[in-house]
Structure 1
């Protein structure tokens, strides 16, 4: 699959899971060095926001938006995943006052399982996934232009409907 970065075409390797499939398992560390896995949040609706680089403008906007929504939307677990280091994520959260769950995929396991790795950039593609209480993917959106913000309202609508 190809997406663009500021108009330049880049390739994503792997295959993204599709709506109706069981969400692929993952286990990633959070900022407290705890391993968070999909099985740990089984039985809950989950919105996963994937950003290429937390230290860029659009990724920052996306993460702050979902952090705000997490405080307002009950019964949905919000997670942001990037392949930034723990230190980069922690520094960004401290600077921006964000307290949502951030997971770091520095080994590429999430990127591989969800088909989101862009080798030319060494980063994950921008995406949003919503997983229902049974672990089924009910929404997936990979941004065709990674320098643009995703459709927050549609993702939130899907997450609220899956509660």
Structure 2
């Protein structure tokens, strides 16, 4: 179990993010067109997994906007924005914001991603949602960077995540 805070109040997740150097856990997530995507479909590409509670909060929306802007500059890299929001909400947000450089994915069906990456909240007002985290995966499917944001309302360290891509 990992401990983070929400506005200073302790809340917990299932555990710790995958360790650096380990194989990224596989997943099945739902795209905005309701098709299913798995990790293997991104083989040979660098990945930034931008994980967050809900697109309908200011900090989560800011992280998607920031990674969308940064992703336009990245070679052989895909940014996957992952939450438990319904694909319909993700589509609405991306359309309204002009988001085109990231892939929106939802863990709403079975929560398997939140379990595999240990980011599902186990208590508190966000119980069942995903903890704000970033995982960077290299072309070989190995984890090269992780960050579980200690205070849920704070943004992730974009610079550190993007620098990890350069070294991946």
Distance 2:44 2:95 in 1: 30
Q: 1:129 aligns with which of 135, 149, 153?
A: 135
Total equivalences in the alignment = 162
Whether the 8 Å contact between 1:13 and 1:119 is mirrored in structure 2 is yes
| Distance in 1 between residues matched to 2:68 and 2:146, nearest whole Å | 19
- CA deviation vs aligned residue, 1:63-120 (integer Å, no higher than 9, x gap): 0000111111111111100011111111111111112210000121100000000133
3-state SS, counterpart of residue 25 of structure 2 = coil
Q: Deviations over 1:127-147 (max 9, x none)?
A: 000111111100011011110
Mapped to 2, the partners of 1:2 and 1:14 lie a distance apart of 8
Matched, 1:43 2:49: no
Give the aligned CA root-mean-square deviation in angstroms. 1.0
Work out the CA distance in 2 between the residues paired with 1:127 and 1:160.
Answer: 19
Give the secondary structure class of the aligned counterpart of 1:72.
coil
TM-score by length of 2: 0.93
In structure 1, C-alpha distance between the alignment counterparts of 2:83 and 2:57, rounded to whole Å: 12
> 1: CA distance between counterparts of 2:148 and 2:112?
17
Structure 2 alignment gaps of length 5 or more: none
Runs of 4+ in 1 over 2 A off after TM superposition: none
Aligned mates of 1:49, 1:73 — CA distance in 2:
15
Which of 142-151 and 29-38 deviates more?
Answer: 29-38
Tell me the TM-score normalised to structure 1 length. Answer: 0.95
